[in-house]
A and B are shown apart, each in its own frame.
Chain A
Amino acid sequence: MSVTYLEAIRLAQARVLAEDPRVFIYGQDVGAFGGAFKATKNLAEQFPGRVIDAPISEDAIVGAAIGAAIEGLRPIVEIQFADFSMPGFNQIVNQAATLYWRTGVPCPLVIRLPSGGTSGGGPFHSQCLEALYAHMPGLLVMAPGTVEDVYSMLIEAVALDDPVIFCEHKLLYYHLKADRLPEAALPAGKARIARPGRDMTLVTYSAMVHEALAAAEELAAEGYQIEVVDLRVLKPLDTDTVMASVARTGRLLAVGEAWPWGGVTAEIVARVAAEGLHLLDAPPQRINAKDTPIPYHPNLWAAHRPTARSIAAAARRALQT
């Protein structure tokens, strides 16, 4: 049997619905239709009354999920595309993220964000917004890059008492496959060494894990051993794993599909520079998407975001300094 990344999301939701009566799903077209990407296919049938179609009202969708969380439920919100979380931003960052700190009442809810570019998506169906959410106190941010992780981390996210921004990558939905679902999960909040190496550390997450792995493969042919760290969780950041890797390799390239100003790669570079400058043999580097909206045409889109080739080129430059 083989399972896709998308199928793993659906199965994880089916499992939490079956195991935890507090769970329900709320989002646009998630009911009988099964969701824009079919991540909730058949779930409304299997779990009557617990997979609820919402109006196109992201503010009210998140607001209602917060209310339900206060009442002891565990809502999973499907935002149709990560881009459309922006109209719900206020409820996410000002209501969900502040509730526990202000009142001591936790706000357990999961907001699924189908993120990232697919060719043809264009400026408003391709965004990676993890940095915005990671910036705001009170949220956990996850960005699984493998089938195993998307399954186990979604289950874990539902069990947590905090609001979790769950960044799924649309490019991985159909193409990324695993032989089976994982039985055990990595410890919560821990990064993973996706490929060991000793010449340089690539720190990345989500779909970029696969671009980074391909870049490492390309560089292996040139005799470089590249270590790839898959962050998995962006907030909290597993700085220890990153620092230990940099201590082994002496070189850092942080890779992100999101925009360059601020953000996850900047945070990685800042932390390594502040705490591990002595570990570095060369200035820490990062590579991101270009600082424009995300273009529509495949030719432009492919050049907008980092690819195995552009990552390998950036790594080569850093390896030669």
Chain B
Amino acid sequence: MDDPIQCSTESRPSGGGAPGPGQALSMEADRCRSAYRWMVLARVLDDKLASLYRGGKIHGGVFLSRGQEALSAAIGVALQRGDIFAPLIRDTAGRLAFGETVAEALRTCLGSPLGPMRARDGNVHRGRPRDGLLPMISHLGAMIAVVNGMLLARRLQGRPGSVGAACLGDGGTSTGSFHEGINQAAIERLPLVLVIADNQYAYSTPTCRQFACQSLVDRAVGYGVQGHLADGTDLLECMRVLADAVGRARSGQGPQMVVARLLRLCGHGEHDDASYVDPALKESELGRDCLQVAEEILIGRGWATTADLAGWRHDAQAQIEAALAEVQRDPQPDPYQETWTAIASEGLRDGYPAPPA
């Protein structure tokens, strides 16, 4: 959406081969640089989360986005303020680009009561529903219909114009919720963009045990929605396809299904060594690291210098270290301060058993 927060141009090292005065960058270059910076921020944040996990600082699991930053960032930058985004486990980049702050991500992962989930939920289950950033529940496929409902509500309220993006993995497409969700969106012709990261595995299960169609995008026609394929390792292609899909949805062409092929470059979670991943896949085009591919694009087209890249990574690291230092000073959640109620209506809380005197 916006430029990476706190990635100010002043901190960019000078003297590189970036375009000098008078050599204004094209809009495409600008967008690509911006998306790349979200990717770097996500990668560095993921690396930090992994090290916190190894250091025993994180309760529960840590799920990384490595290898999916290009696709995810492309979603985040294609959406506008006021749109709806339902990210999934590998969308650190998209979340940041959509407006999540590093601090709120860290607060949720570290279980801070000052985070948006107030230590009641953790890791990837975070968001701000009122700002259109949905906090996923674990049950795969379940967020699609929620996005549909938000879009439907805006139509009923006479507030059209926004787009809702929902993310899913290859494994998530085998759920009933996926089918119900995309079909519902199609019937109502909602401006939904369903982004499927076909990363070859669902935990340890390869795609051949998940679906029998040639490509998941073939399903689009069966649902009566427009389908798009993208190379998920290629930032420029992801940005082009996502911008197109979001534009079509916004202009009233109904739901869009984007299928991006790539490889998960990490375990399912940090507890998983992913020894089951086929080495041939790692060597294939799918196994390319999208971050490196993006760097080659930026350098190759003269849109950034190696010094720019180093500077941006440095900025990202500094931003994350600063946020972490702040978050680590947060108080711990206190069970005695917890309301222990899941009901909003005062006076309608089941008071049994009564609290001990």
B-binding residues in A (CB < 8 A):
24, 49-50, 54-55, 57, 59-73, 75, 87, 90-91, 94-95, 97-106, 137-138, 140, 160-162, 188-189, 233, 235-237, 239, 271, 274
Contacts and interface: CB of A to CB of B under 8 A. Distances in A.
A63 B118 CA distance: 24
Contact of B184 (A60, A75, A90, A101): A60
Contact of A60 (B145, B153, B345, B350): B145
Contact of A91 (B142, B151, B351): B142
Contacts of B146: 63-64, 66-67, 70, 95
Interface string B135-164: 101110011111111111110110000000
5 contacts: A90-B177, A94-B137, A95-B137, A236-B349, A239-B351
B157 A73 contact: yes
Interface in B298-357: 341-345, 347-353
Q: Which of A59, A87, A99 has the most CB of B within 10 A?
A: A59
A59 B187 contact: no
A61 B129 CA distance: 19
Contacts of A105: 129-130
B120 interface: yes
B105 to A, nearest CB: 15
A55 B187 contact: yes
Given A60-B184, A90-B139, A65 B348 contact: no
B172 interface: no
A64 B149 contact: yes
Given A24-B156, A103-B117, A239-B352, 4 more contacts: A95-B146, A102-B117, A102-B135, A104-B118
A70 B120 contact: no
Contacts of B129: 70, 99, 103, 105
Nearest to A87: B176
A87 B141 CA distance: 13
A67 B148 contact: yes
Nearest to A91: B142
A231 B191 CA distance: 44
Interface string B154-187: 1011000000000000000000110011011001
B181 A63 contact: yes
B153 A73 contact: yes
Contact of A160 (B128, B154, B348): B348
B127 interface: yes
A94 B135 contact: no
B116 interface: yes
Interface string B191-214: 000000000000000000000000
A243 B149 CA distance: 43
B271 to A, nearest CB: 23
Contacts of A103: 116-117, 127-129, 135
B125 interface: yes
B153 A67 contact: yes
Contacts of B3: none
A60 B180 contact: yes
B104 interface: no
B121 interface: yes
Contacts of B147: 67
Contact of A102 (B120, B145, B151, B184): B120
Contacts of A101: 120, 341-342
Contacts of A71: 149-150, 153-154, 157
Given A70-B130, A90-B139, A100 B344 contact: yes
Contact of B342 (A59, A98, A274): A98
Contacts of B152: 64, 67-68
Nearest to B176: A59
Contacts of A60: 144-145, 148, 177, 180-181, 183-184
A292 B127 CA distance: 43
Most A-side CB within 10 Å, residue of B176, B184, B342, B351: B342
Contact of A189 (B138, B142, B348): B348
B183 A55 contact: yes
A74 to B, nearest CB: 10
Interface string B83-120: 00000000000000000000000000000000011101
